Amino acid sequence: MITVRNISARLFKPKLPMTKAVRKRFDIQVTAANSTVTQTFELEKSIVGLKGLLLTSNYDDLLYFRGSQKLDINKDEIFPEGYETKLLMSGINCPPSKRYYDLNNMSPGNGQVKIEFTDADDGRSVFAAYRVSLYLDCIMEV
């Protein structure tokens, strides 16, 4: 049965913003042993949510054994100083849909992502310059 309410609900339905999933990669270079590298990255204004994050490297063993970091998004501390990188890495035995640390569609706020990565000698690995890649699983408004 067609009523005025049904017709008006169809005609004046609020338009929801269209979104799509995108993955952003930010790299930092660790060039000195036992050092801290700080870098701030800017997300595009069209990013409306953060679903997850992942850390990788061109030398995963160095990242695993030597790395720790502090991570802030929108000036909110997500991981405190000294948080071990191995807890944010993913192995090959993990299904692709489960590789990212869940951020629960966090709001990016001002879009500032700050990472303070610390390389520390652990006695198991020899230092070589390496790249740390921060991947963010984002929701972008189109």
Structure tokens at 63: 């990242």
Does residue 15 belong to any structural domain of this protein?
Answer: no
Q: Is residue 58 part of a domain?
A: yes
Residue 105 maps to a domain:
yes
Whether 48 is covered by a domain: the verdict is yes
Q: What does the alpha-carbon distance between residue 54 and residue 102 come to, in Å, rounded to a whole number?
A: 9
Asked whether residue 14 is domain-assigned, the answer is no
CATH number at 82 reads: 2.60.120
Containing structural domain, residue 109 = 24-141
Closest alpha carbon to 117 in 102, 131, 106 = 131
pTM: 0.85
Q: Give the H/E segment covering residue 42.
A: strand 36-42
Could you give the number of structural domains in the chain?
A: 1
- Residue 89 CB contacts under 8 Å (≥ 6 apart), including other chains: 54, 55, 56, 60, 63, 64
Give per-residue pLDDT as tens, 39-59. 999 999 999 999 999 999 999
User: Is 7 among the domain residues?
Assistant: no
Whether 92 has a pLDDT exceeding 70, the answer reads yes
Does the residue 11 lie in any domain?
no
